[in-house]
Structure 1
């Protein structure tokens, strides 16, 4: 069925998106009865609805463009729509949840780190534990209702037909970067396996493409730098029609050696996600405000667990305690990193020294972990840590979202304008 024929289905969602939130900023009454958090949660849910509707409209515009060129079968993974998830709170989770867990869970399983040990994976305990955890998650979340798209029609196309579709969708530069040349794609999709000589020839050709000649010198592009090619084809037509020319953005990261990732941005970014770096982002400010509010409580908590025999712990930059990293070291004490079955954390995570009297026996280590989880919970209960943490984190979230509230409303209006434009295009 043509995307244009079922575009009318967007109409109701679009009307909702364009009219929901009419009472925001106190317009229309009723807003004064809500708390600051309730108002902000409603704002976020409105943003989620707008983004879901806009994504759906973008997909339909692109599909129409492709169908006008004769491509009636679409690669289904590229156009997976999503429903806006209803958010009930500003805080999705709390920093203390890594080390202060459910009391019954602590008594029975500890932190579950033992399930990642070699012994637990060999004796079958790990498999039983993860099966029980998965069953619990399904009960809490109501099960996974995700259904993979039907690829029957797409799979029936020849590799050449699929490659032609990709070219029409995103343009030659983007397709070659993502899927290789036509020869490489058709070979990889062919039922016949490449001979060793053909595989070597393709690998050498790919390596030669990375070599850049510049004034007689040969240099190879830094492997830590990635430049995303500019989209083309029908996707670029949709972008230019709704948002104008896409903008190139470069991000960097601070890991060993550093690096950069350059990509193309076209839909204006929701201010709730914006920030030049993690420290400058809204989430960085939330962590800072929470840290300031919890400093005294965190000190008392460390004193409490130290008195119970767990000395040397310090809070991480994310206001949690590295319990998983610490326990992993206990189960894999003396085992080289490359021989471990699992690893948590990174080289910069500071963990306490392991207990001098730590037994070698797996069962004893597991008992130590369970007692540790119980002791950590008891210290939290004595101090009222959970209530203090939730209050501080909720207040930090309200403060951060209020600071960008007007920017978010302005962004929503821009996106509603884009939705109106998209509907006009789909109605033609």
Structure 2
């Protein structure tokens, strides 16, 4: 019999569980729309900020005689969380229409066919996977290939100019120690402060790097503002959602089992390991490596001559079970309300976060315009 996994509580409710899960929603439709839009705006602006920071750093390096750059180092490898709007974990189960169009979307990643290539630019597919894919710039891949083609001497000189001599030497020592013995403990001492073009960029964009003391040592960091979504754990919200939709979840799991897919469970975030399950058909991983616990492949899956056809059939069955069990009945609105209720008393901080990003972005744009 399928059993729901108990969600992990990440944020303690200040009221008894029954009060926490049964309370009447306090958020109005205006609250939902207003706060959601602010979070969407902030997410988009954060990505614009990271890209602008990379352009500032690239200009600094070009002024020092370097034309080819490591694209990820220019912004410190920082990729802000992508937020397209509130979406419950149940939305990861495709609707019937989505299942007919792209199934679970795994075949798009694992196969190289004209259909898969076309689907990678399909707006409906991209909307379905946006949060999982995060922000990305295809131009970075081409730039990284160009970087890899450079001589090691050029790359070393570039990194020293970017990091500054002290931080570059520290990074080199760390890398050499790891290559010598990945399992050995290495005490490199405190990391030097930012230097070179990296420091210059942080000063232009953020008015300087962030700093704190940890265990008596100075720690320097990139001050990219953290999204308010980190204030609330998905596991906390899912625990409340799951309590409200316990019967629907159980009916869904029974339905999936009845359709021949074995016993499944929602994890502590409300996700199903469909991607890992299907990966076994496309690119099996060795036993004991990667991923959560997943149901064993059914005989039908193991005997599937066409993994893509099997994925589409499975997606349609899961979509049908979600609709029949009631997992589509008000869950998206409930999820958004549960989130927004946790933000209402901090709404001023959310607007301050968005404004801070705008100010940093303006710094970068002003510098680039004046260059």
Give CA deviations for 1:76-135 in whole Å, capped at 9, x if unaligned: 62558xxx99x99522x54234444435845x986587999xxxx9xxxx554xx42331
Task: Give the drift of 1:291.
Answer: 2.5
Partner of 2:85 in structure 1? Answer: 90
What is the CA–CA distance in structure 1 between the aligned matches of 2:103 and 2:343, rounded to whole Å? 35
Partner of 2:186 in structure 1? Answer: 221
Partner of 2:327 in structure 1? Answer: 385
Provide closer, same or farther for how the CA distance between residues 388 and 360 of structure 1 changes in structure 2, counting only shifts above 3 A: same
Task: Give the drift of 1:207.
Answer: 1.9
Secondary structure, aligned partner of 2:269: coil
- Structural mapping, 1:393-412, within 5 Å: 393-412=335-354
What is the CA–CA distance in structure 2 between the aligned matches of 1:203 and 1:34, rounded to whole Å? 56
Q: Which among 281, 297, 304 is matched to residue 248 of structure 2?
A: 297
Task: Give the drift of 1:407.
Answer: 1.4
Task: Give the drift of 1:338.
Answer: 3.0
Task: Give the drift of 1:272.
Answer: 1.9
Question: Is the contact made by 1:282 and 1:400 (CA closer than 8 Å) also made in structure 2?
Answer: no
Matched, 1:102 2:44: no
Partner of 1:193 in structure 2? Answer: none
Partner of 1:316 in structure 2? Answer: 267
Partner of 1:138 in structure 2? Answer: 121
Matched, 1:38 2:33: yes
- Structural mapping, 1:175-324, within 5 Å: 175-176=168-169, 180=172, 207=180, 220-221=185-186, 230-240=193-203, 242-247=206-211, 264-274=220-230, 281-324=232-275
Give CA deviations for 1:117-166 in whole Å, capped at 9, x if unaligned: xxxx9xxxx554xx423312323269999445679998998754553343
What is the CA–CA distance in structure 2 between the aligned matches of 1:113 and 1:51, rounded to whole Å? 28
Structure 1, unaligned stretches of length 5 or more?
Answer: 1-32, 182-201, 212-218, 251-261, 276-280
Structure 2, unaligned stretches of length 5 or more?
Answer: 1-27, 127-135
What is the CA–CA distance in structure 2 between the aligned matches of 1:267 and 1:413, rounded to whole Å? 14
What is the CA–CA distance in structure 1 between the aligned matches of 2:278 and 2:37, rounded to whole Å? 40
Larger radius of gyration: 1
Q: Which among 157, 173, 186 is matched to residue 164 of structure 1?
A: 157
Partner of 2:65 in structure 1? Answer: 71
Task: Give the drift of 1:400.
Answer: 4.2
Provide closer, same or farther for how the CA distance between residues 65 and 102 of structure 1 changes in structure 2, counting only shifts above 3 A: same
Matched, 1:338 2:286: yes
Partner of 2:12 in structure 1? Answer: none
Provide closer, same or farther for how the CA distance between residues 220 and 354 of structure 1 changes in structure 2, counting only shifts above 3 A: closer
Higher RCO (CA 8 Å, separation ≥ 6 residues): 2
Provide closer, same or farther for how the CA distance between residues 305 and 338 of structure 1 changes in structure 2, counting only shifts above 3 A: closer
Give CA deviations for 1:342-400 in whole Å, capped at 9, x if unaligned: x8733xx252x666x76974449988766554443333232332243323333234334
Provide closer, same or farther for how the CA distance between residues 416 and 366 of structure 1 changes in structure 2, counting only shifts above 3 A: closer
What is the CA–CA distance in structure 2 between the aligned matches of 1:142 and 1:311, rounded to whole Å? 27
Provide closer, same or farther for how the CA distance between residues 268 and 378 of structure 1 changes in structure 2, counting only shifts above 3 A: closer
Question: Is the contact made by 1:37 and 1:90 (CA closer than 8 Å) also made in structure 2?
Answer: no
What is the CA–CA distance in structure 1 between the aligned matches of 2:233 and 2:335, rounded to whole Å? 13
Provide closer, same or farther for how the CA distance between residues 90 and 306 of structure 1 changes in structure 2, counting only shifts above 3 A: same
Task: Give the drift of 1:43.
Answer: 1.4
Question: Is the contact made by 1:286 and 1:400 (CA closer than 8 Å) also made in structure 2?
Answer: no
Give CA deviations for 1:27-73 in whole Å, capped at 9, x if unaligned: xxxxxx983233123313442454356446645654565566x4364
Task: Give the drift of 1:298.
Answer: 0.7
Question: Is the contact made by 1:243 and 1:266 (CA closer than 8 Å) also made in structure 2?
Answer: no
| TM-score normalised over the length of structure 1 | 0.54
- Tell which deviates more after alignment, 44-53 or 357-366: 357-366
What is the CA–CA distance in structure 1 between the aligned matches of 2:357 and 2:144, rounded to whole Å? 31
What is the CA–CA distance in structure 2 between the aligned matches of 1:52 and 1:368, rounded to whole Å? 37
Provide closer, same or farther for how the CA distance between residues 248 and 373 of structure 1 changes in structure 2, counting only shifts above 3 A: same
Question: Is the contact made by 1:114 and 1:366 (CA closer than 8 Å) also made in structure 2?
Answer: yes
Aligned residues: 323
